[in-house]
Amino acid sequence: MKKLPILLFIFLLLAGCRSSQPAYEADIFAMDTVMSLDVWADDESQTLTEELVQIIQELEAELSVTRANSAISAANAGQTVQLSGTVATLLDGTLALSGRTGGALDPTIYPVLQLWGFTTENKQVPAPDALAEALAHTGADRVHLDGTTLQLEDGCQLDFGAVAKGYAGQLCADHLLQAAPDCAAMLMLGGNAQTVGTKPDGSAWRVGITDPDDPAAVIAVLELTGTHSIVTSGGYQRYFEQDGEVYCHIIDPTTGYPADTGLTSVTIVCQNGLLADGLSTALYVMGPEAAVKFWRGSNDFEMVLIAQDRGVLVTEGLTDGFTCDAAYEVLTR
Ligand code: AMP
Ligand code: MG
């Protein structure tokens, strides 16, 4: 198959996801990214879409590390805080996933991320002693969550950048399916996609995977029916160069350095947005061999891995309707 150019990608998104016009659509800026919400729910479409916007904005207000008055900012400043049940559930699930991935997903990596300047315009390689000092305060065991009461140990700070958008997609899907079980939706939250229900024309949802070597194009397209979370983590999404080296925004918590395992992109497809988003980051950190082993030991997600040499691995559960610009290998259990 020839390389899919950007226009075709846009066509796929438009034609694939909107072959029947959504009853209501909204484009918003939240969580530092552009989100587009397309909802088909008859005359409830507009109301439901507005409710989704509110769900996303409320989550962002509580999680934000850049808004001084958010609950997480207060916790990061050393205060004991009361979380909403929604965010306590997110934190609880994130800590569990951190354990399941052997710490590859580490929601306490924020002080390290700040040293690299990923939260600012001044990205730079940090001094080794500053990095060692910041790393000394990381680790999920420094987070104390008792019901909805959160207290962080001194120097420990949380950041939900690896999971917030996936969880937001999950909350939106749950809300839609509860309010209007027969509805359909395609929610694009930055690079995260959340499909809900069956497209009114009965065709499959089509979701493109960005080409890591040419982020204006797609390298592969997934066809899915029903409700799924599809999340991609890639080094190409945010990075800087210094002295000829490229440094990406996904940090290996064991070294404090950007993950550099030979992968350029990890896409996770599953039924749970927090799991999809958390695993996309964690498996990127783990690298290809550990990621394949992890998938073989699990039964709750499928994935597409893309390596620096453009080698593509796709797990057996995704091969129906999968098209790819590069040669790919199918992983079996
Ligand atoms: P994602 O794009 O979902 O892979 O998330 C990347 C974001 O998560 C980064 O921009 C950081 O805010 C944060 N992050 C980076 N490395 C890690 C890590 N190892 N564990 C948890 N969060 C991380
Ligand atoms: Mg993630």
Q: Which residues surround ligand 2, an ion (CB under 5 A)?
A: 162, 233, 277, 280-281
User: Atom of ligand 1 at shortest distance to CA of 118?
Assistant: 10
pLDDT reported for residue 15: 39
Residue 42's H or E segment, with its range, is none
Q: What percent of the chain has pLDDT over 70?
A: 94
> Is a pLDDT exceeding 80 seen at residue 140?
yes
Ligand 2 midpoint to CA 274 (Å): 8
Integer CA distances (angstroms), 20 to 114, 282, 307, in order: 44, 36, 36
Contact assessment for residue 194 and residue 286, using Cβ atoms and an 8 Å cutoff: no
Relative to beta strand 312-315, strand 328-331 is parallel
For residue 207, list its beta bridge partners: 222
CA 329 to chain centre: 24
pLDDT at 8 exceeding the cut of 90: no
220-274 per-position pLDDT tens digit: 999 999 999 999 999 899 999 999 999 999 999 999 999 999 999 999 999 999 9
Q: What is the C-alpha separation between 43 and 59, in angstroms, rounded?
A: 26
In testing the pocket of ligand 1, which one of 101, 109, 131, 170 has its CB within 8 Å of the most ligand atoms?
A: 109
How does residue 20 score in pLDDT terms, banded at 50, 70 and 90? low
Centre of ligand 2 to C-alpha 326, Å, is 24
Per-residue pLDDT, 119: 85
**How many A from CA of 283 to the centre of ligand 2?**
9
More confident residue, 117 or 15: 117
Q: Are 170 and 270 in contact (CB under 8 A)?
A: no
pLDDT at residue 18, rounded to an integer: 41
Residue 121 banded pLDDT, cuts 50, 70, 90: confident
Question: How much is the pLDDT for 22?
Answer: 77
Mean pLDDT of the chain: 93
pLDDT at 13: 45
pLDDT at position 10 over 50: no
* pLDDT score recorded for residue 21: 72
Query: Strand, helix or coil at 92?
Result: helix
Report the pLDDT value the prediction gives residue 201, as an integer from 0 to 100: 92
End-to-end CA separation in angstroms for the chain: 27
Distance (Å, rounded) from C-alpha 49 to C-alpha 271? 21
Indicate the range of 22-26, 156-160, 171-175, 293-297 predicted with least confidence. 22-26
Q: Judge if the beta carbon of residue 251 lies within 6 A of ligand 1.
A: yes
57's CB contacts (< 8 A; 6+ apart) are 30
Q: Are 152 and 74 a contacting pair, CB within 8 Å?
A: no
The residue among 231 and 17 whose pLDDT is bigger is 231
Q: How does pLDDT run across 128-137, given as a tens digit for each residue?
A: 999 999 999 9
The pLDDT of residue 6: 47
What whole-number distance in Å separates Cα of residue 328 and Cα of residue 28? 35
Would you place residue 31 in the very low, low, confident or very high pLDDT band (cuts 50, 70, 90)? Answer: very high
Q: Are 258 and 251 in contact (CB under 8 A)?
A: yes
Query: What mean pLDDT comes out for the span 33-43?
Result: 96
pLDDT in the model for residue 135: 97
Instruction: Decide whether any atom of ligand 1 lies within 6 Å of the 159 Cβ.
Output: yes
Q: What band does 11 get if pLDDT is binned at 50, 70 and 90?
A: very low
E-strand ranges in the chain read 24-30, 33-40, 81-82, 143-146, 149-152, 184-189, 192-196, 205-211, 214-224, 228-234, 239-242, 245-248, 251-252, 257-258, 263-270, 302-307, 312-315, 323-324, 328-331
Is residue 250 within 6 Å of ligand 1 at its C-beta?
Answer: yes
Per-residue pLDDT, 276:
98
Residue 161 CB less than 6 A away from ligand 1: yes
Tell me the pLDDT tens digit for each residue of 178-191: 999 999 999 999 98
Nearest alpha-carbon partner for 302 in 328, 282, 276, 263? 276
The count of C-alpha atoms lying within 13 angstroms of the C-alpha of 288, restricted to the half-sphere facing its C-beta, is 19
- CA 241 from centre of chain: 23
Percent of the chain with pLDDT strictly greater than 90: 89
Confidence of residue 325 (pLDDT cuts 50, 70, 90): very high
Model confidence over 47-68: pLDDT tens digits?
999 999 999 999 999 999 989 8
DSSP 278-311: HHHHHHHHH-HHHHHHHHHT-SS-EEEEEETT--
